A and B are shown apart, each in its own frame.
Chain A
Amino acid sequence: MTRGEVQRSEEELLARARNGDREAFGDLVGRYQDTVYTLALRLVGPDLAADVAQEALLRAWRALPRFRGEAAFATWLHRITVNTAWTLRKRALRHAAEPLEGDIEDRGVLPERAGELAEVRAGLRRALAALTPGQRAVVVLRDVYGWSNAETARELGITEITAKVRLHRARLRLRVLLEGAR
């Protein structure tokens, strides 16, 4: 299937799901459940990630008639996942010190560099897990997913200044943690 065909088929699925077709939504869930779950895992850790992913996908279903395609479906879904994770952050805070990602796998890395990169990434994941939930959310959205400061602040319900300060502190803390681990 070509990229154009994949896109067309996604548009068809979206159109059907917007009109209440549960089977079409099931296909979309199958396509995006890993990315939604991974984002949830990064934001709130393993204990809550499955709940956040499930709730986010349910909210997406309810809200689907509102989706007009101004942003890509994946982006829209990510925003809902961030909102869901953030509104459940009180539960997430209780698990702040737990490891974030036990089984995230790297897709598409050359075998000869896999060991080295796996080590760097494992260190990063441990360091991310040591941040406060607020710092972690900002640094994940800005530096892992490439969101803007404005977008990050809006979806987390904080001011842009707060987002920048948290990002600054998070990067400093990450560097200290990573340098300490070497």
Chain B
Amino acid sequence: MIERLIAAIRSRADGGDAVWRQSEHTTVGFESGRLKACGVTEETGINLRVVKGGKVGVAGTTAPDVDDLLSRALASAELGESVDLVFPAAAPLPQVPTHAANAAGASLERLIAIGAELVSRLARPGCQINVAIEREIAATRVLGSGGADAQYGATGVAVNVDLARFAGDDVLFLSDQYQGTDLPAPEDLDALVRTIADRYDRALTVVQPPDGTLPVVFTPQGLSAILLPVRQALSGKVVLQGISPLGAKLGEAVFDAAFSLTDDPLLPHRPASRPVDDEGTPSHRLPLVERGVVRAFIYDLETAARAGTKSTGHGSRGTFGKPVVEYSNVVVGKAEPGAGSPVLGGGLVRGVQDGLVIDELIGVGQGNVIGGAFSHPVALAFRIERGEITGRVKDAAVAGNVYDLLKRIGGFGTDGRWLGTRWSPSLLLEGVSVARR
């Protein structure tokens, strides 16, 4: 079908490209410790982009009518702006394993068994355990009038666990996740159980939060609020709009000399890895920040054309809408998969006299993210006193500016791990405002 589409592009438009994706998504859900539902979603979709008279149009469909799709894309192009898109030529693709036969072939019973094991290992008196196992098998084909023609298969497995405990009006909520192309190995399940168990034990004691400007350990989970403004600022699209605080800082040392950030779509067996992006640009590893110095921004074809540069291979497409600029796997520091120890705080706690470990904040992404300022109440945080974690704190809020905080990093933890598409250890940041309420 997609070949027919490319032939139609050649005859009715000046150029274009398309992504065809077929996926089967299986979900097994345990609610309150009980297997409750099994589901399958089968989806096939095409996202088409055409260029006609220099103008770009986009259309998407899950319906099988290819002619209608092309007509809608051409109608979109009539209104479109002119962009000088250069569709990639055919090129040899890098090798990256994205498919695990073991995951693709796993039976429903196998997925249920993983969930049942976790439910029994996580059970605590008075706690509600939810576990969801998801497995996706996908086939992707990317074709363009420049000659690019790539296809690859991928698998993805996600295991999400959460524990809720209610004691009067105190609600404790803990969660963790595994993601990979393959089924979780025994040590992956062990890590999930240890993460929850360790936090649970420490959370049972509730202590007063501290107050003032203090050192704070942000765990890999807790780092989301700190990294979000930087991720936004390194997007070529934001740079192009003139609102990135890093837009004019290429080659400048903006962060601590120990801070590095890399986008790497070629890491084996990570769910965001792929040999090409969704516009046919071959994947490669891209250092964004190296030892504190801003090295690169990410671009797709359109933002690259507008910025007068080349795509870095970061075009991402769903079935609907135009391609967007998106990261693949983002690595903070150096990825050493499997090397991390799951100790809360990654060994950074013992150097702190009075401070916090932040594991989750509320409201990340709200407000004025791009400027770097943040202010969030804590969802899950622990107090550090004289180098020890003394208990869980509630009713506290933290605030600061990530560009100030990341100028001087107090330490990198030994607990580096994957969390979805991000790899990072804990970071110790000094001078965070902590308020009690």
**A and B bind:** no
